[in-house]
Every structure is written in C-alpha cells, then in structure tokens.
Amino acid sequence: MKIGIVLSGGGIRGIAHLGVLKALKEKKIPIHQITGTSAGAIAGALFANGIDPYDALNIFKKTQLLRLFRLAIGRPALLKLEPTFPLFLDYLPHNSFEKLKIPLTVTATNFNTGKLTYFSSGTLIDKVMASSCIPGIFNPIEIEGNFYVDGGVLNNFPLEPLQNNCDYIIGSSCNHLPVIEKLRSMKHVIERATTLSTNHDMEEKRKGVDILIEPHGLGETGIFDISRAEEIFWIAHEEALKQIRESESLTQIILSLKKKKP
C-alpha cells in the first residue's frame, strides 16, 4: 500500500506537521509521497531528506530562523528570503528533489501568470523558498525568469498530486480556527481573516483524504510566533496519536505492516 501525506501552509504553525510526522514515525507508518505548501513544503523537505521530526524542530529553535531575514530595500516586499539559503543548504546539501529519500511535491504561485505551479524535480531549495514566500512580507523568488510567491495563495492544501498515486492519503492541517466571542485587535482581525481565506476550501478538501489530523485552535497562533514552536509540536503529536488510535483504517494498516515483518 502506498501512503501519501499532504502538509498545509501556516507559518510557524507548520511546526505541527513535524509533530504529526513524529507520531507516524513512532507508529512505523511509512510515508511514500509528500506534498506541501509553504511551511508544509519546508517540513516536507526536511522529513523527505531523512531528518527526524524532533531534530527538525530543534533546527528552527536553534537557528532562530526569523533573525536570518533581511530588509528588502527598494523591493516589492519587507524582507528577503535569500539569506536563509545557506541554512537550507546545511540540511539539504544536495539541493535536489531527485536525491530526497521520499518523493516530494511543493506548490508555488507564479506571480507572472497568476497560476499554481507544482515543483517536484530539479533544484530544491529555491522552490521550497518560493513556496514559503508570503506576498508583501517576503520578496518574490525568481526561478527561470518568473517570480513566485507562496503556494497557499492558490492552494494551501495540495492533495491533488497524491490522488492518483496513493492508496491512502493522510492530511495534516494546522489552521483550525476556534469560535470567538470578541475581537482583540486590528492585528487579530487581519490574521483571522487571512486564515479564513486560506481555509475556504477545506471542507471540500477533507473529502479527499482518508484521515485529517487538525489540532483545534492552532489557527489563532500568529504565523511568526516562534515562542510557541515546542508547544505546537507536542499538541500536534498528541492529536496525531489520538487520531491514529481512533482510526480503524490506520489501525488495519499498522496491523498488516506488522504481519508482513519476518
């Protein structure tokens, strides 16, 4: 059986994907194909290269990634992503989709044409950065003469590349919004509206996965709130373990895998 996983975008909330992947690894559930957008593209690339999910969390905490960003003076955004390239190269030294241990597809939005692009071959790091390039905050990434921004602009949950290639699809989403009774600030309103927009098609998308792991309330966390990284990781890890325990289909997969072992 071929198992695929789709990892949503969500800024620092994407740390949740690492907690989910850790739970799947602990339960010895193999992943044969990964798709991801934005933070999901970063988490997917690290996991696809064989980096343990908790080690990946510590990479984010140790390097304090946000400090690597630089002001994009005279550019159409506030910050530049390019200074993070050497960091990615430390953990993805081959810089190649083809040399990953698990096939990976990441999405980005072609800002020239206004169309979604799926990347799954060639150089890796520039395409992961393009997938993570939040428009207006980060300067667009140029690839082969076109400018690319965050894939979540057009598809924040890219399950489509898995649908004809996998027998079982796991979804990991980190943007669930709780019901609220009051508005805290203008920042809160803008962040909630943005998350509502990225979630607009999740009800339809959830029909395309066999199991959706979506910790409640994470959508209220700011996309740059690195202080919650460890907490987010373990919240998602526990939610994933709970979903695995309660899922009859995943239980059957685990049992069948155990039977196949000599």
Instruction: Say what the pLDDT of residue 68 is.
Output: 44
Rounded Cα–Cα distance for residues 8 and 10 (Å): 7
Active site (catalytic) residues:
38, 150
Rounded Cα–Cα distance for residues 124 and 117 (Å): 14
pTM > 0.85: yes
Cα 124–chain centre separation: 15
Which residue stretches of the chain have pLDDT < 70? 63-79, 261-262
Task: Kindly list the distances between the CA atom of residue 151 and the CA atoms of 38, 123, 133, 138, in Å, as whole numbers in the listed order.
Answer: 6, 17, 8, 13
Taken in order of first residue, the domains within the chain and their CATH numbers are 3-260 (3.40.1090.10)
Rounded Cα–Cα distance for residues 143 and 8 (Å): 22
Write out 62-103 in H/E/C secondary structure: HHCHHHHCEECCCCCCCEECHHHHHHHHHHCCCCEHHHCCCC
Coil, helix or strand at residue 125:
helix
- Residue 127 gets which letter from DSSP? H
Q: With contact defined as beta carbons under 8 Å apart, do 23 and 118 qualify?
A: no
Instruction: Say what the pLDDT of residue 73 is.
Output: 46
Instruction: Say what the pLDDT of residue 169 is.
Output: 97
39 token code pair? 């933070």
Q: Percentage helix, strand, coil, to 5, in the chain?
A: 50, 20, 35
Instruction: Say what the pLDDT of residue 234 is.
Output: 97
Single out the residue of 192, 196, 198 nearest to residue 151, CA to CA: 198
Q: What does residue 116 show for φ and ψ, rounded to 5 degrees? A: -75, 140
Residue with tokens 């690290």: 46
Q: With contact defined as beta carbons under 8 Å apart, do 126 and 42 qualify?
A: no
Instruction: Say what the pLDDT of residue 177 is.
Output: 81
Q: Which parts of 132-227 are beta strand (E)?
A: 141-143, 146-150, 168-172, 211-213
Rounded Cα–Cα distance for residues 188 and 155 (Å): 23
Instruction: Say what the pLDDT of residue 202 is.
Output: 87
**Cβ neighbours of residue 82 closer than 8 Å, sequence gap 6 or more:** 70, 129, 139, 141
> Alpha-carbon torsion 141, 146, 150, 153, what sign?
positive
Single out the residue of 112, 144, 111, 113 nearest to residue 126, CA to CA: 144
